[in-house]
Amino acid sequence: MTQRMTDCFAKLAQENRPAFVTYFMGGDPDFDTSVEIMKGLPAAGADVIELGMPFSDPMADGPSIQAAGLRALKGGHNLTKCFQMVRTFRETDNETPIVVMGYYNPIYQYGPEKFLSEAREAGIDGMIVVDLPPEMDEELCIPALKHDLNFIRLATPTTDEKRLPKVLSNTSGFVYYVSINGITGAAAPEPDEVAASVAHIKARTDLPICVGFGVRTAEQAASIGRAADGVVVGTAIVSTIADSLNDGAASDQTVDQALIIVSSIAEGVRSARR
Amino acid sequence: MSTQSPNSFKMGPDSEGQFGIFGGRFVAETLMPNILELDEAYKTAKKDPEFLSELEYLNKHYTGRPSPLYFAERLSAHLSGAKIYFKRDELNHTGSHKINNCLGQILLAKRMGKTRLIAETGAGQHGVAAATVAARFGYPCLVYMGSKDVVRQSPNVFRMKLLGAEIESVTAGAGTLKDAMNEALRDWVTNVEDTYYLIGTAAGPHPYPELVRDFQSVIGKEAREQIQEMEGRLPDMIIASVGGGSNAIGLFHPFLDDDGVQIVGVEAGGKGLDGEEHCASLTAGRPGVLHGNRTYLLQDPEGQINEGASISAGLDYPGIGPEHSWLKDTGRCEYVPIMDDEALEAFQLLCRLEGIIPALEPSHALAEVIKRAPQMDKDQIIIMNLCGRGDKDVHTVGEALGVEL
């Protein structure tokens, strides 16, 4: 685990509250706006930042995140600019852990070694690469661990007893529990079922368990946060950004609206164990 | 690297589902248990005599196999070179080779206790074949089809509906096969417990490239026997069109270890390889990861996937089955592009010379035959896979020729 990640979860454990993990798409709708959003996230209540890396064919994402990715690509976003965003953010914040999230092909084309060393240098703490299951660990996961970067794995409702140890091996940072079978932004998860699944995984690892997919409101975040070590919210933020745009371009409301929704859901997360 | 024996091209994939560096299982964790379950189910099924005999029975009595191997006498005389044989898979029930794979996979779905089918389709040939086996086995079936393809292949859309399938028109991206496949994968991730994803080509995560190839290999096995019966020897060259590559791998695979047989795959060159309006992933793409496998892809320098373009909806895919990528890199097979206008010429020539209206997909292979046959001796033999009939394409061809229907 990177020091930032370790410190972050240690502090949260001390305060007895779950982490609020916020996902948004880098470069959506343009570089400057998304840097402004990113810089505002910690003050709005984000404990960990998940920074989306756009891909033309995001198989595990719903329509909102697909559209955000296409907007970012249209604006010329790419991995070089993703690293630039992180470097700019790190000029004023060297505490908040940053996890980049995306799909493997852009990384594969960039060159996995080059990607990892530049990511580490820019101040990234970990990555979630949706289409790299444990069977493909040699591609990026093992090299990432050698660069002291966290490789955060998704566990899902279909991850059974037999498979769980395989999913947990080589996972670091935290475990991302995908609360539903489906794509991002789909149906809301059932809090009791999520609590049972989280307990089940917790019995087999010391890593924090963060729960995402389908969590949209402060109330949902509060109920999920009672059992989980962290709550991930993405589509709600990405949709808010989309709604604030004028013909696909940022308006004077875009940054504010994004941070307002983050603040309001952060309230829910912070009230989870009160 | 792989565990391939250097003496055989027929051993792949390895235990990780890879052909050299190609193939693999690049999917979201939600799908992994399903993919592994399918792998297990297929491993058992392919050794089960009951499964194999049921498939053979259906191939014979439902599809009409074996398909004929036909000596195209007038075309051969016209080109005045090699003797040209067609493997007539366009005479199959449903009008293309796609049924070979669908029958195999529906039997697997049944064995696995799945109750719902989903499929993606480009030209609609696979969608029709999937809808057909769904009807035959009493399964509900949802077919994902790009919105652009829904328009240009409307007769097939209606056929699928008649067969009881539901069609989901996909507007994401350019509204073609790649987008339909994304959407089918999203459906599968959401309905992973009860749904069987019937992939139409020899691509996707392991074990799909292997099992689709095996079900399609009936084409090459039959052709190999038929040509020896008719000519007393193996052909000098075999040719097939490649989109995702299932008809081609079906013809090629049984011949891979026959040294004297030259193997040629024909990609859609669209309007030419200079621009972006083509689907020649092997000739003009480079290795990348999409839809569960590593393979040659049309992509920009940053790894974003480009849309393909071809007059033939069935070849309109930016990827290619991983085994073809490996066969290209090992040098065992050669892959060449054919342009839209060359395919159109070939289409018309076959109509007039042999009384066969081919689909636009094999018309690409035919255009390559037309180039190569005259360079060969009269006692040499070419087998081309005539993998689909052209009824579905008459509107497209009419439009291209400026004829109003």
Considering only the beta carbons, identify the residue of A105, A155, A160 that sits closest to B290. A105
Whether residue B28 lies within 8 A of chain A, CB to CB, comes out as yes
ipTM of the complex: 0.95
Residue A138 annotated among the catalytic residues of the structure:
no
Q: Do A158 and B32 touch (CB under 8 A)?
A: yes
CA atoms lying within 13 Å on the CB side of residue B116: 13
Q: Do A154 and B178 touch (CB under 8 A)?
A: no
Model confidence, pTM: 0.95
Q: How far apart are CA B66 and CA B318, in angstroms?
A: 32
User: pLDDT grade, residue B6 (50/70/90)?
Assistant: low
User: pLDDT grade, residue B282 (50/70/90)?
Assistant: very high
CB atoms within 10 A of CB A113: 12
3-class state of residue B244 by DSSP: coil
Q: Is the pLDDT of residue B133 over 90?
A: yes
Q: Which domains does chain B have, with CATH numbers?
A: 25-58+98-212 (3.40.50.1100), 65-95+217-400 (3.40.50.1100)
> Any idea which of A47-61, A131-145, B166-180 has the lowest mean pLDDT?
B166-180
Do B269 and B278 touch, CB atoms closer than 8 A?
A: yes
pLDDT tens column, B316-333: 889 999 999 999 999 999
pLDDT of B207: 98
Closest chain B residue by Cα to residue A158: B30
Whether residue B16 lies within 8 A of chain A, CB to CB, comes out as yes
Residue A192 annotated among the catalytic residues of the structure:
no
Helices A235-243 and A254-271, packing angle to 10 deg: 150
User: Residue by residue, what is the 3-state secondary structure of A2-41?
Assistant: CHHHHHHHHHHHHHCCCEEEEEEECCCCCHHHHHHHHHHH
Closest chain A residue by Cα to residue B318: A57
pLDDT tens column, B210-245: 999 999 999 999 999 999 999 999 999 999 999 999
pLDDT of B131: 98
Average per-residue pLDDT in chain A? 95
Of the residues B2, B32, B192, B298, the best mutation for testing chain A's interface (the one with the most A CB atoms within 10 Å of its CB) is B32
The token pair at A235 is: 């589509």
In degrees and rounded to multiples of 5, residue B4 shows phi and psi of -55, 135
Considering only the beta carbons, identify the residue of A106, A131, A183 that sits closest to B186. A183
Q: How far apart are CA B395 and CA A47, in angstroms?
A: 58
Q: Do B30 and A178 touch (CB under 8 A)?
A: yes
In one letter, which amino acid is B390? Answer: G
Chain A positions in Cβ-Cβ contact with residue B291 (cut-off 8 Å): 57, 59
What DSSP assignment string belongs to B266-295? EEEEET-SSSS----HHHH-EEEEETEEEE
User: pLDDT grade, residue B2 (50/70/90)?
Assistant: very low
Longest dimension (CA), chain B: 57
pLDDT of B27: 96
From the list A30, A50, A125, A137, the catalytic residue is: A50
Residue A172 CA, distance from chain mean position = 14
User: Cα angle vertex B72, ends B66, B76, to 5°?
Assistant: 150
Class (C level, CATH) for A3-271: alpha beta
Q: How far apart are CA B251 and CA B264, in angstroms?
A: 11
Closest chain A C-alpha to B299 CA, distance in angstroms: 10
Average pLDDT score over residue span B359-364: 96
Q: Do A158 and B34 touch (CB under 8 A)?
A: yes
Chain A positions in Cβ-Cβ contact with residue B38 (cut-off 8 Å): none
Do B154 and B162 touch, CB atoms closer than 8 A?
A: no
User: Residue by residue, what is the 3-state secondary structure of A201-247?
Assistant: HHCCCCCCEEEECCCCCHHHHHHHHCCCCEEEECHHHHHHHHHCCEC
3-class state of residue B249 by DSSP: helix
Size of interface A-B (CB pairs under 8 A): 115
Average pLDDT score over residue span A136-160: 95
Q: Do B303 and A110 touch (CB under 8 A)?
A: yes
Q: Is the pLDDT of residue A184 over 90?
A: no
CA atoms lying within 13 Å on the CB side of residue A245: 18
Q: Do B304 and A55 touch (CB under 8 A)?
A: yes
Nearest to A105 by CA among A159, A69, A147: A69
